[in-house]
Amino acid sequence: MPFSWSDRESIARALIDTYPTAARLELGLDELQQMVVTLPGFSGPEHPPKQAHLEAILWTWMRLAEEEGIAA
């Protein structure tokens, strides 16, 4: 199912699956943006409407990874 910038939970789950060993705490927002737009199923524009979308995705990714016991 395709998703775009507002689907932060779906994006975060896809990031966990695609980049399980990524150093989430060291990522810059530009790097995160590139990771998101290359995810399978991502169909949004190349740039998010607001920087807050990237920040929300990053925090959701960190929360889900912590809940699943995946090291940062």
Instruction: Name the residue ranges covered by the structural domains of the chain.
Output: 8-67
pLDDT in tens, 14-35: 999 999 889 999 999 999 999 9
- Is the pLDDT score of 1 beyond 90? no
Residue 33 to residue 70: CA distance in whole angstroms: 21
pTM of structure: 0.91
The pLDDT of residue 30 is 96
CATH topology of domain 8-67: Arc Repressor Mutant, subunit A (1.10.10)
As a whole number, mean pLDDT of residues 51-61 equals: 96
Does 70 score more than 90 pLDDT? no
Residues whose CB is less than 8 angstroms from the CB of residue 66 and which lie 6 or more positions away in sequence, other chains included:
72
pLDDT over 80 (residue 56)? yes
* Angle at the Cα of 17 from the Cα atoms of 27 and 45, rounded to 5 degrees: 65
